[in-house]
Amino acid sequence: MSSRRHFLEASLAMAVLSRGFPVLAADKSMRLGSLPVVSTRTAYEIYNPLMVHLEKAFGKSVHLETPPNFKAMYQRIREDAFDLMVSPPHIARLAQKRLGWHPLVMCQPEHKSVLLVMEDNGPASLEALRGSTIAVLDSSALVVMIMMEALAKKGLVVGRDFKVIETRSYESSQIAVKQGVAQAMVSRSQGFIDPNLRDRMKVIFEAGALPGYVFIAAPATAEKQLQALRSQLLAFGGTPEAKPFLEKLGYDSMVAATEDAMRRLDPYLDATESKLK
């Protein structure tokens, strides 16, 4: 357990020291990037089973880094700061098309973008949201982009009919709504929301379809190593240890990422790139 705590405490240091290391070199650790949607502590708890599996499979330590937001995450991707990254699908596609990253595995099933309010005293309808504040994880998150587009089609435009505040994590968005700082929050239909708090919240609107998170490998990764990574990720997905990992992310399985699946994200490329600049 103490060695695992060391991974967490050293993640930022490793992020700096590991720049320029050969991809998955035999004498170097594996650099794993996680989504900036929960706190660093929560990310460690979620990803620990995966880290243990990868350590056993490749015989090297795995160091986890959780960037503070999506812009910082994409900047780290541009710097080739990770060997393996768990990415939102639209950013994974952007990294693939613009930077040469390799999609390996995609999580399933797909989800909806949902608007959550407190069940006892929250807005009862979309119309009641006029003049209110909506908490979002990050304006460049696909779940937020889909929701803002859907609300605009319903006549509710951000900046005109409601305000948006960005939070550090889904956990922070929950707190904002609970404390009345915001009257609603944008979330995925499954995963991340504290079950105890989720029971006191209700969905007043849902929109779109969200493809699953994508595991992507660094551009310089050799073909043989790509095959090994994909094989081990899929193998992990079939283990008992993967069940809690996937459940916390809101999924139940992992499949090989296909070009057809990734191509569905192309309509969001320009908007995603613009928001991440």
Out of 7-21, 62-76, 94-108, 233-247, least confident range: 7-21
pLDDT tens readout for residues 212-248: 999 999 999 999 999 999 999 999 999 999 999 998 8
In this structure, the strands spanning 30-33 and 163-166 are unpaired
Distance CA 274, CA 126 (A): 28
Q: What b-and-e string marks burial along 149-162, b requiring 16 or more CB atoms within 10 Å of the CB?
A: ebbeeeebebeebb
Band (38; pLDDT cuts 50, 70, 90): confident
Beta strands in the chain (DSSP E): 30-33, 62-65, 84-87, 102-108, 111-118, 133-136, 163-166, 184-188, 201-210, 214-217, 253-256
Residue 26, pLDDT > 60, answer: no
pLDDT for res 100? 98
Residue 13, pLDDT > 80, answer: no
**Half-sphere exposure of residue 28: CA atoms within 13 angstroms, side-chain side:** 16
Residue 207, pLDDT > 90, answer: yes
Domains of the chain: 2-109+211-276 (3.40.190.10), 111-209 (3.40.190.10)
pLDDT tens readout for residues 110-145: 989 999 999 999 999 999 999 999 999 888 889 999
Angle at 14 between CA 10 and CA 19, to 5 degrees: 170
Band (250; pLDDT cuts 50, 70, 90): confident
Provide, rounded to the nearest whole percent, the portion of the chain with pLDDT above 90: 71
Q: Residue 100: left if φ>0, alpha if ψ -120 to 50, beta else—which one?
A: left
Identify the residue whose tokens are 């409601």: 162
pLDDT for res 195? 60
pLDDT tens readout for residues 103-114: 999 999 998 999
pLDDT for res 198? 65
Band (15; pLDDT cuts 50, 70, 90): very low
Residue 3, pLDDT > 60, answer: no
Residue 185, pLDDT > 70, answer: yes
Residue 24, pLDDT > 60, answer: no
Band (200; pLDDT cuts 50, 70, 90): confident
Band (23; pLDDT cuts 50, 70, 90): very low
Q: What b-and-e string marks burial along 56-85, b requiring 16 or more CB atoms within 10 Å of the CB?
A: ebbebebbbbbbebbbebbebbeebbbbbb
Average of per-residue pLDDT values in the chain: 87
The token pair that represents 203 in the structure block: 């969905």
For the residues 86-101, what does the mean pLDDT come to?
A: 96
